[in-house]
Structure formats: C-alpha cells, structure tokens
Amino acid sequence: MTVDPVLLIVIPLVAAFLVPITSIFMKGLAKWIPLLGLIGMAVVMALDFGDLYDGPVTSITGGFGPPWGISIIMTPFGGLLATGMIGVALFVMISEIDGKKRAHQTVYNTMVMMATTGAVGMVITGDIFNMFVFLEITAIAGVVLAAIPRDGHEKGLNWRGAAVYALVGGVASFLVLAGIALLYGATSTLNIYQIAERIEGVDTFVVGAAFLTMFIGLGIESELFPLNGWAPEVYRGSKWGTGSLFSGVIGKAGLLALLRISFVVLSPGLENGIVMDILLWVGAATYLFGEAAAFSSKDLYRVLGYSSIGVFGLLVASFSLGVADGIRGGTMLLLGHMLAKPILFSMMGFAGRKKKGDVPLSSLKGLIRSSPSAGIIMTIGILALIGMPPSPTFWGKYFLFSAAGSEGQWLLISILIIGTLFEAGYLGRMLFNIFDTRKERKADTLPLARGIMGALFVFFIFLIGFLPGPLEDIITFVIAELIDPLNYISWGSI
Amino acid sequence: MNGYEWIFYGGIMALMAVGIWAILSRRNLIKAIMGLVIIETAVNLLLVAVGYVNDRSAPIVNGDTGLGDSPVGEVVDPLPQALVLTAIVIGLATTALALVAAVGYFRSTGTLELKSFTYGRTDETEVKE
C-alpha cells in the first residue's frame, strides 16, 4: 500500500506546531504529541517501505507535476535514511519517558520534531530550493537544541554551543543558497533531476563554483574536516538526545544532500572523477582526525562527538570510492552507526547523569555490576560500533576494505587501519571501565523505557548483522542512484 | 557577460569575501553576526542578478493580460525574486536567533568575545581523572 510520502513532512511539522500551543492549555497532552507524530511517521514509512523495493515513491504537491511544481522523490536511499532518522528520533523521545520532570521540555520536544521535519524533508524532496528551506529548518532547530543543557545543568544554558552553531550553520545554509543561485542561473530550473539533466552543457567555472559553495555548506552540516570545529562545542554541553540527533538525524541529512548534489548533479558537469577524489580524501582525513581526537579526549560527550565526526568521514570516503562495494559498505556503515551511536549516547547519559561539568571515562567504572542491563547494552553498542561480527558495521567495513583493495587504494586502506586502531583504543578504554569492578559502586537501575529502547536497537543490530540479505535489493537502488545520474533523472521526470 | 555584469558579480564576490573574513577574523559575536548578515546580502543580490535580463521591466502585471498578450518577453525572471523574498525572511530568523544566542552568551559570561574558536580546546576546567 502506498501512502503519500509528503505526510512524512506534514506530520512532524504539524506536531512541532501543536506542542507549544497545547502546552499552554493541556500540559498532559503536549508531552505525548511528539510521540504520536513520530509513531504516525513510522506508520507511513512502514506502509511505503515495501514499495521502495520496486523503486522510488513519488508525490506531486499542489497539483503541478514536474517540471513545474515541487515534487517529492523518496528514492530507496532516501527512504532507508528517513526510516533510520524516524527510528533515532523515536529512540530519543521514548527513552526519556520515566515520569521525571525536565526543564525546557516543551522547547526540546518542539525542536526534536522540527529537526526531524527538516532532516526527512531534505532527503526526500526533489527540489533544490526546497532542500535549502529544510536545511534552514534543521539548522534553526539545531541551534535551539544545542542551547538546551543536560539534565542536572538546567541553570546554565549552553549559549556558547548555540552561538557557534548559529553562526556556522547560518554561513553553511547561505553558501548552499549561493550554489543554488549559480545552478539556477545556469540551468533555469530548481528541480534536482532537471539540473542534473542540463548540467553537462554548463560552463565548468560555474559548476566548479557551485560545487565549492555547496561542498563547504553541506560539509559543515555533515561535520567534515576541516569544517567541523563547531561540533565538539555542541556535543559537549547539550543533552545526550541532542548528540544522538546531530549524529543520527541532522548530520545524516546533510550527508545525503552532499552525496546527491555531488554525484548526481554536479559530477557529470566537471572533469572526470575530480568530485569523487576530493570527497574521498576529505572523508579519509575526517576519519583520521575524528578518531584521533576521540582517542585523545577525556570527556565522554566529546569522545562520542569526535567519534561521530570520524564515522561521517568514513561514510563519505566509502561512498566516494565510486564502486558498488564501496556504496554497499557505506550503506551498511550508515545503518550500523545509526543503530549503535544512540545506544552509546543513551547509556552514557544514564551513567554520567550525576556528574557536574565534563563526564570522565571513569564514570563508566563498574557499570556492569551497578547496572548490569546498562552495562550489557552499552557493551554490545561498543562492539557493534567497532565492527565485531555480526553487526552492520562489520559488513560495512568488510565491503569497504574489499572495495578499496580491488581499486588498489593502499593509502586509503592504511588510513582505515590507523583510524580503526584509534577507534579500538578509545572504545577499548570504555569497555575496560565498564568491566572494572574493583571499586564498589551503588546499585543503579536503568529506567524501563531506556532499557527497552536500548534492547530494541540491540535487536536490530543483530537482525541486520545476521540477515543483511533483505536489504540487498534496496542497496542495489542506492548504488544505481549514486553511480549513474540517469537513474535519478528518470525517477524524477515521472 | 558584459562590463556591467562583471562589476555586479565582482561586487557580490567582494561582499561575500568581506562577510567570510569578518566571521573568521572577529572574535566578537556581534561583529561575526554582522559578517553573517553581509553574506546573506551578497547571496540575495546574487539571486536577483541571475534572474536579471537586460532592457526588461519588473515582473509586475497590471490588469488582465490574457493569453494573447503574454508579458513573458518583456519582464525579468520573477522566480529568483520570489526566492529572495523567502531567503530574506529566513535570514531574518537566523539573524534573530544568532543575536539571542549572543545575548545569552553575554549574560552568562559577561563578554561577547568567543575565545579560541579552534579544535580541542576547553575554556572550562579540564577533566581530572
């Protein structure tokens, strides 16, 4: 059964609008609206997911078909990513159901819904200016999310993180807009598929300038080196849920936009392979930088933030290899990261909730004894992130290494190995602390909702790890979208 | 491109460079936000510029034009102007939000200077293990 995918944008937008209004009259109801909205989105996605096996799900808005109106083109890649985003947002919202009153809850709920609207919108829209508007929605939600402090720090809002992200996010979106203006000037259209169709006749200078501005803009959003100086500022002072949203929802939307703009739209208008080479080495550098910085950080929030930066680099490098196995590996790594990172953020937020200021590695000490369920869930999350079989990350790294090997990219392989060693270093330290039971620690029960969500994501890690087969059909479409722009063009023009 | 267009596009690039320079070089939050506003202006000008066609009028239609009397050949491209309108509104929201963050930062720290806008540094006490 096909449901109009535009509902994936309408539902969270309406929910975000209703939360602050109902919180004035019916506080009890306002708490549940975001949850209802996300469940609604999950239902729409579940109904449409089957259709993604046959290709993209499209929708025309306002009765104007292409090339006139804005069309929604949910490609299987976009659909897979949107599913993951809804999952991460649900994880974040459900995990905090524990009957406790939290400060800034209404604002937080509104912004989670806005960030989800923007991120899902960015990955399913077929119009490049529409994409800019969604990018702005995510950026604005991101600024407010960054300002909301962790539990227990209610008095001091993270103004520094908010100010830094407001500046950098603002520059990012206006650079993207500059790129859009250049592309519109050259091709007289805003439909992504039509720009892709007409790009080959355009002056290389204009395409190059558009690539530069959009690469910087979307690179900032997807935390690429050296455009990610803002990220640690945001991760270290905000809630664990904000960290999960930045790494699992907001950043992933920027990543897909970057890949789509680079490979589908701009790459055919530039010299052979130059876009791929730039992205490949920027990705590799980001991976190395992120993992090394995570290794040398002591505050757990920052460790996980830098680790996310590293994974973004790994993903970009993997997709930019331009071969089927690289894209297959990238998709698996993407899923693995979206499942494992929220678990780590959530359990770390639980273990370090009483700490004032930074959360040192030692706050995980003896977690396996003080709260066995949290310890076990976190251990599985850590092993899944590093790529122990069976986990999606294992398959991702396996395909990535074989793709890099068959392409003869030995420098890339050595960077991957060094990065993985750093990764093993800091994740190993975390594991060591979890199982270090030398010092007695008071028993601590994991709240039920948080435990259930953690266990659910662990289940998905094993499910995809053991049975990656059913995803293969979707991944074939992901490969088709990124390798041959003609596929996206034909999907868009229907 | 003719001479006038070169001046126009050159001016846009210069404005953009000024804005980016302001953000990179000023540690004062208000000055950095001014840089952001300058970038916004440059991008809005760029949008209007790409829709401009020599010797044509503004895309405002008076009265009933009918199909036979289409104004398409006489006016400049109206779409970028609609985009600029959207971009101005969004720019207003971003600027307001950035200023709110700047006010909050000032109230909590007593300064508008963002110290060491670089990697891996902390201005709070380091973690002691």
ipTM score assigned to the predicted complex: 0.86
B128 pLDDT above the threshold of 70: no
User: How sure is the predictor about B9, in pLDDT bands with cuts at 50, 70 and 90?
Assistant: confident
Whether A227 is covered by a domain: the verdict is yes
The percent of residues in chain A predicted with pLDDT above 90, rounded, is: 48
Tell me whether residue A32 is exposed, middle or buried, using C-beta atoms within 10 angstroms of its C-beta: 0 to 12, 13 to 18, 19 or more: middle
Q: What is the arithmetic mean of pLDDT over B56-78?
A: 68
pLDDT of the residue at A205: 87
Count Cβ atoms within 10 A of the Cβ of residue A239 and give its class: 0-12 exposed, 13-18 middle, 19 or more buried: buried
Residue B60 has pLDDT above 50, yes or no: yes
A/B interface, count of CB pairs below 8 Å: 120
C-beta atoms of B90 and A133 within 8 A: yes
Q: Do A160 and B117 touch (CB under 8 A)?
A: no
**Pick from B29, B50, B107: which is nearest to A185 by CB?**
B50
Helix H or strand E encompassing A59: strand A57-60
Q: Which of A133, A170, A185 sits opposite B98 (nearest CB)?
A: A170
The pLDDT of residue B97 is 92
Q: Which 3 state secondary structure label does DSSP give A224?
A: coil
Model pLDDT for residues A122-148, shown as the tens digit of each residue: 999 989 999 999 999 999 999 999 998
- A494 is a domain residue: no
Closest CA to A87 of A48, A39, A52, A53: A39
In three-state secondary structure terms, A390 is: coil
pLDDT in tens, A81-102: 999 999 999 999 998 887 777 7
Q: Is A2 within the bounds of a domain?
A: no
Mean pLDDT of A417-435: 91
- Mean pLDDT to the nearest integer, A314-326: 90
Sorting pLDDT into bands at 50, 70 and 90, what band is B70?
low
Min CA distance, A161 vs chain B (Å)? 9
Residues of chain B contacting A150 with CB distance shorter than 8 Å: none
* pLDDT for B69: 61
Most confident of A63-67, A119-123, A219-223, A485-489: A119-123
Chain-chain contact of A143 with B29 (C-beta, under 8 angstroms): no
Say if the Cβ atoms of B47 and A160 lie within 8 Å: no
**Burial per residue of A259-269, b for 16 or more beta-carbon CB atoms within 10 angstroms, e otherwise:** bbbbbbbbbbb
b/e burial code for range A331-349 (CB count within 10 A of at least 16 → b) = bbbbbbbbbbbbbbbbbbb
* Interface test mutation site (partner B, options A70, A104, A111, A160, max chain B beta carbons within 10 A): A160
* Confidence label for B66 from pLDDT (cuts 50, 70 and 90): low
**If you average pLDDT over residues A3-21, what whole number do you get?**
92
pLDDT on residue B24? 84
Mutant choice from A107, A167, A295 vs B, greatest count of B C-beta within 10 A: A167
* Per-position DSSP letters for B90-129, written without gaps between them: HHHHHHHHHHHHHHHHHHHHS--B----STT--SSPPP--
Which residues on A lie below 8 Å from B47 (Cβ)?
Answer: 177, 181, 184
Average pLDDT (A5-11) is 93
| pLDDT, chain A, mean | 89
pLDDT at A185 over 60: yes
Q: At A314, give phi and psi (nearest 5°).
A: -60, -40
* pLDDT over 70 (residue B125): no
Cα A282 to Cα A161, A178, A276, A318, A361, distances in angstroms: 25, 22, 10, 11, 30
Domain extent for A405: 7-487
* pLDDT range class, residue A341, cuts 50, 70, 90: very high
A492 assigned to some structural domain:
no
Domains in chain A, number: 1
A148 DSSP 8-state letter = S
Q: Domain for residue A224, yes or no?
A: yes
For residue A439, name the pLDDT band (cuts at 50, 70, 90).
confident
Stated as kind and residue range, the H or E segment containing A229 is none
Compute the average pLDDT of residues A395-404: 92
Q: What is the pLDDT of residue A438?
A: 81
In this prediction, residue A377 carries a pLDDT of 93
Element (H, E) at A58: strand A57-60
Residue of B nearest to A360 (CA): B127
pLDDT of residue B62: 66
Q: Under an 8 A CB cutoff, do B97 and A140 touch?
A: yes
- Which residues on adjacent β-strands are paired with residue A72? A59, A125
pLDDT surpasses 70 at A421: yes
C-alpha span between A17 and A117 (Å, rounded): 11
Please state the rounded mean pLDDT for residues A469-486: 86
Domains of chain B plus CATH, in order, are 3-54+77-116 (1.10.287.3510)
pTM: 0.92
Mean pLDDT of A285-307: 90
